[in-house]
Structure 1
Amino acid sequence: MNPPFDLVIRNARLVTASEMAATDIGLRGEEITAIGHDLRPGLAEYDAAGHFLLPGGVDSHCHIEQMTAAGIMNADSWESASRAALHGGTTTIIPFAAQHRGKDLTAVVADYHVRAEIGAMTDYAFHMIVTEPTEKVLTEDLPALIAAGHGSIKVFMTYDPLIVDDGGLLALLTAAKAAGAMVCVHAENHAMIKWATARLLAEGKTAPQHQAAAHPRLAETEAISRLIALAELTRQPVMIFHVSTANSLDLIRAARARGVRIWAETCPHYLYLTDSAMERPGNEGAKWMCSPPLRGVADQAALWAALRGGDLDIVSSDHAPFRPDATGKFAAGPDVAFNRIANGMPGLQTRMPLLIDAALRGKLTLPQVVELGATAPARIYNLGRKGRISVGADADLVLWNPDSTTLLSDDTVQDGTGYTPYPGMELRGAISAVWRRGKLVLKEGELLARPGEGRFLPRSGGDAARWDS
């Protein structure tokens, strides 16, 4: 006879990427072992009546305890970032081990492991940021690191200290293809941004609100078009990070229609905010600076339609936390031009609550929220036991109360920035409980997890990183 369940969650309204059903869930140890009605008693029981039960969120794009190329450490340690993630219903994260020029990639990844092991409360994997695709990196470091379970690489097509040119990108795509890794790309045209920035500064347009014009829409669409061509030439799939414009969506649809294997994500700030957020007095607008920048209402509508229609695969946070003070946004000074202000917004805590709110207001369905926020990122990044509720999967579960609300304010922020980009927004739905691998780690707002409990998730690039899978 099978041992009793360690926990049975009763009367849940289960939500997966494909269906919704009233059922019970039985857990043993760290995994889901039964789904059905009238499960026999567990050693512990949890009544989920009136609640939706979703898999824990998987945030596949977030910056944690990461130094910028300008030498600014972002505001989050692994402990504070994973605390924010759990408070937002996310149980698995994929941040970046970032190589800066002159640094040894293998040493960078080893150092990042040490910091994650000390502070992480969520489970995690890494993307490796590569800025110097040298012969050693391409033929020694990357193959060994990918074989050790680091199944994805990030590349920047812009930023002077980070940019990889087309030749370097082709070399990285080729190396990734040989080793079976995914390549993720920040796609903006570097020359266009430098040209637009220089013109704005010459005209005395230095306030944060001008950052949007400094990153013109064409900078994104041109770079995405070029990236698609490079991927098509090498027959290596790519993930296009933080798509922000309707024009970019047209390029992605056209490429897929002719058989190019590409993936694409967007972020909540492009769905909920526009560039008008930066039009605040003084430097207040710096809180809403990110790259690519916030866009317009028409782009928002196109992104929502793309999520509903399956043209975008993932909603990630692109959590890039900088305090709006001398330690972060204004490390270069309180009155500097927009091009010297640190870019990025916090988002780990608000990503899933914003998506749940969208579903409860009819902009998405709850299964679409599960697909975009958990199942697709786990599938695309080859995290086989994550992002789903099924027998044999990790028991990463979040219980949502649709009859409650979540008020976003600076007072409720759990990350290190001290502010939310959505102050005063009241969201439908609230988290009642979070389980990570079967352990209750958050209950009615009380954090029960401890630093160091998170687990590294080794992985290859998987099917999504193969052109002909």
Structure 2
Amino acid sequence: MTLQILRNARVFAPEALGVTDLLIGGNKILAMAANLELNSNLAITELDCAGQIVCPGFVDTLTHVTGGGGEGGFATRTPEMQLSDAIRGGVTTVTGALGTDAVCRTHLELVAKVKALKEEGLSAYFYTGNYHFPVKTLTGSIQQDIMLIEECIGIGEIAIADHRGSQMSWAELARVAAEARVGGMCSLKAGIVSVHVGGSADGLKTLFDVAEHTNIPLSQFYPTHINRSAELLQSGIGFNKAGGTIDFTASSTPEIAAQGEVRCATALALALAQGAHSDRITFSTDGHASLPEFNADGDLVSIKVGSMDSLLQELHYAVHQEKLSFELVLKAITSNPARILKLHQKGRLRQGGDADLLILNPDTLALNAVMANGQWFMVNGQITRKGTFEA
């Protein structure tokens, strides 16, 4: 086994640790210390980071790895994710999901894609189900999918407040959440319910109704697209203060912004200013999802594709434009999502943790290098390992 030492790194774990050396062996971080010394006859390679930032690889909790879309017909089905899409965005852990279409997009191809990404070197997981109810699963049971399929960590995206959803009642959603909760408890997984929140005035009402009428806590739900509008953001801040976690979507388009979406980084600044708990806020890419623009009648006007570069872009904007601390923003794309999904080896730089890390320019936050599971995928800003069929 070749050992690697990263020297003179300015480490954010995501907490600021100062200048620290890291020892990597296999896919693990074996040690972290200032002026690390190692006496060994094993092969050792060293990299002088020269004061560059070293931080955890990004944990993306919502990626349509097999593609999404289809709201404008078969020709609007979005393309599937490739390995380099994740690497360019600093994403080392992905969570795949189906969306609107669960007829031509299936769980079988979703699981196959997740396993393929794992073979190519990423860490990859998925949600069973999709927008609709009754829930489609692989085994015929939400509990069984979560308990018996290694990569399945929850259910989603279940759609509420959206004309594309199944218009679920709170009682129907409660039954789904209860199944996911028990499946997670019995398998030591998150069993989380990822919730797509659309643009209707109902907003998060269904989630609050479940908490009011049952013993299922708000923390069982993981609503995304909370920056869709100023009104939904305010409801999401209340949800966060009541004990829930909220997710902001980093991918956007000018058309969606013109309809009132709050930029992801700006939503974080506004939420924190109103006393939201920073440990219960995350960003996700919604990568390779369709980003549709609908008119008042629900007809499709335009459609674009979610980008996996978006987490890095919003990190830049939050630090340089919103003037938020790098450490605080980093939590929203590393340790927070990893904790919520119970991916205990992800989202942090620590001894014994997985060797998923990024090297960033300390001034511009430009991405210089990516390591996933102890292997380099980008060096000096150039991708060095691509997917099987990438040119």
Short-chain TM bin: 0.7 to 0.9
| CA distance, structure 2, for counterparts of residue 113 and residue 135 of structure 1 | 17
Identity of aligned residues (%): 21
Q: Which has the higher strand share?
A: 2
Of 438, 449, 461 in structure 1, the residue corresponding to residue 374 of structure 2 is 438
Deviation per residue, 1:319-369 (Å, 9 max, x gap):
2455xxxxx979xxxxxx982245454231131243045324562212112
Secondary structure of the residue that 2:106 maps to in structure 1?
helix
User: Take 2:230 and 2:257, find their aligned partners in 1: how far apart are those partners?
Assistant: 20
**Unaligned runs of at least 5 residues, structure 2:** 185-190
Matches within 5 A, 1:266-345: 266-269=248-251, 277-278=254-255, 288=256, 293-295=259-261, 301=266, 303-307=268-272, 309-311=275-277, 313-321=281-289, 339-341=299-301, 343-345=303-305
Could you tell me how far 1:113 is from its partner in structure 2?
Answer: 1.9
Map of 1:154-303 to 2, 5 A cutoff? 154=156, 155-160=158-163, 162-166=165-169, 167-180=171-184, 181-188=191-198, 215=199, 219-220=200-201, 222-234=202-214, 235-236=216-217, 237-244=220-227, 245-255=229-239, 257=241, 260-269=242-251, 277-278=254-255, 288=256, 293-295=259-261, 301=266, 303=268
Residue 360 (structure 2) aligned to one of 400, 403, 407: 400
* Conservation of the 8 A alpha-carbon contact between 1:101 and 1:162: no
The TM-score normalised by the length of structure 1 is 0.67
Structure 1 residues 399 and 307, CA, compared in 2 at 3 Å: closer, same or farther? farther
Q: Do residues 78 (structure 1) and 91 (structure 2) align?
A: no
The one of 321, 333, 336 equivalent to 1:373 is 333
Query: SS in structure 2 opposite 1:402?
Result: coil
Task: For residue 315 of structure 1, give the secondary structure of its aligned residue in structure 2.
Answer: strand
Q: Is 2:45 the partner of 1:109?
A: no
Alpha-carbon spacing, 1:306–1:319, altered in 2? closer, same or farther (3 Å): same
Q: Give the drift of 1:268.
A: 3.0
Residue 151 and residue 163 in structure 1: after superposition, are their counterparts in 2 closer, same or farther (change >3 A)? same
Q: Deviations over 1:360-398 (max 9, x none)?
A: 456221211221011111110111111110001110110
1:385 and 2:345 matched: yes
Larger radius of gyration: 1
Q: Deviations over 1:168-221 (max 9, x none)?
A: 323212222332311111223xxxxxxxxxxxxxxxxxxxxxxxxxx4xxx25x
* Counterpart for residue 130 of structure 2: 130
> Runs of 5+ in structure 1 lacking a partner?
189-214, 279-287, 323-327, 331-336, 404-427, 454-469
Superposed structure 1 runs of 4+ greater than 6 Å apart? none
Aligned counterparts of 1:67 and 1:356: Cα–Cα separation in 2 = 27
Q: 1:212 corresponds to which residue?
A: none
**Partners of 1:26 and 1:296 in 2: how far apart?**
41
Aligned match for 2:155, one of 153, 156, 166? 153
One-letter amino acid of the counterpart of residue 269, structure 2: W
Relative to 1, partners in 2 of residues 1:232 and 1:263: Cα closer, same or farther, differing over 3 Å? farther
Kindly provide the amino acid, as one letter, of the partner of residue 385 in structure 1: Q
Cα distance in 1 for partners of 2:155, 2:374 equals 30
In structure 2, the CA distance between the partners of 1:341 and 1:353, relative to structure 1 (3 Å rule), is same
**Deviates further, 44-53 or 359-368:** 359-368
**One-letter code aligned to 1:9:** L
Distance (whole Å) between structure 1 residues aligned to residue 340 and residue 213 of structure 2: 21
Q: What amino acid is aligned across from residue 307 of structure 2 in structure 1?
A: G
- SS in structure 2 at match of 1:94: strand
The one of the two structures with greater contact order (alpha-carbon pairs below 8 A, sep at least 6) is 1
> How far apart in 2 are the matches of 1:117 and 1:101?
19
Superposition deviation, residue 62 in structure 1: 2.0
| Matched residue, 1:40 | 37
Alignment of 1:45-64 (within 5 A): 45-64=46-65
Question: Could you tell me how far 1:137 is from its partner in structure 2?
Answer: 5.6
Structure 1 residues 171 and 133, CA, compared in 2 at 3 Å: closer, same or farther?
Answer: farther
Higher helix share: 1
Q: TM-score, normalised by structure 2?
A: 0.80
Deviations along 1:413-438, one digit per CA (max 9) or x if unpaired, are: xxxxxxxxxxxxxxx32111111111
Q: Distance in 2 between the 1:400 and 1:352 partners?
A: 10
**Distance in structure 1 (CA, Å) of the matches to 2:144 and 2:25:** 35
Specify whether residues 34 and 73 from structure 1 end up closer, same or farther in structure 2 by C-alpha distance, changes over 3 A only: farther
